A and B are shown apart, each in its own frame.
Chain A
Amino acid sequence: MSGLLRSAATQGIGGAGAAAPVGGTGEIGGVGGAGTVSSGKDAGGSFLDSLGDALGGLNTQLNTADASMASFASGGSADLHTVMLELQQASIGLKTGIAVRDKLLEAYQEIMRLQV
């Protein structure tokens, strides 16, 4: 039954993507992917896996920003705006990571407060 619901949901999202004027690529495809993952363990990696991937990506971003900042400071060929944008991207990534962390902690504390 849950499998039926899942495939129906996935198809529904896919259908909306196909009907979208941009051709259902990118963002809308991403929504479809997220729906598939959250609808069951058998659909792919666990939530922790995805979280690990996201944190790895965040680390890469921070390292890139760090490297371009260092390159700029030591008189490298990097443009000022490139450095600033990379710093900005890392900052946005970090804020996203923190928002996710806050959500996780919140959920954990909600569960710990459950009366048994």
Chain B
Amino acid sequence: MSVFDTIRIAASGLTAERFRMDVASSNIANQRSTRNAAGTGPYQPVAPFFQALQMTAEGAQGVAATGLVPIGNGPIRVFDPTHPDADTQGFVAYPDVDIAAQMADLMGASRSYSMNATVTQAAKQTALDAIEIGR
């Protein structure tokens, strides 16, 4: 229903920002993970990327998370021969997580989430105003 198009678009934005927070959270949580989920190497920091998505017949577009891209300059090698994940030369590979950038991204995602929530509030108020016309 066209009344709810604004809300649907803002909802896609909310979902996208939630995903962005998930990814930042994952990068921050794994800043010292020397093994990824498959156990094949250190955790690879990632960044989400998004795509516009046509949502109304008029061409207004929502957003959808399309996937993740690896970020950073590759693992940081630290000499620590006692570490269980040390290689034969005694170096441990730590993920190259830029904590400052991740925190900034987290704040950005949180603020963008609020913005999308404000859009839904405005859309709701518009609909209620429209009902008031009939009163």
Contacts and interface: CB of A to CB of B under 8 A. Distances in A.
Given A82-B11, A92-B3, A23 B58 contact: yes
A95 B134 CA distance: 11
A85 B11 contact: yes
Nearest to B4: A89
B7 to A, nearest CB: 6
A45 B4 CA distance: 25
A81 B18 contact: yes
Interface of A: 22-23, 25-27, 30, 57, 79, 81-82, 85, 88-89, 92, 95-96, 99-100, 102-103
Closest 6 CB pairs of A and B: A81-B14, A92-B127, A99-B134, A99-B131, A26-B58, A85-B11
Interface in B1-51: 1-4, 7, 11, 14-15, 18
7 contacts: A26-B56, A27-B2, A81-B14, A81-B18, A89-B7, A92-B131, A95-B131
B124 A88 contact: yes
Contact of A81 (B3, B117, B135): B117
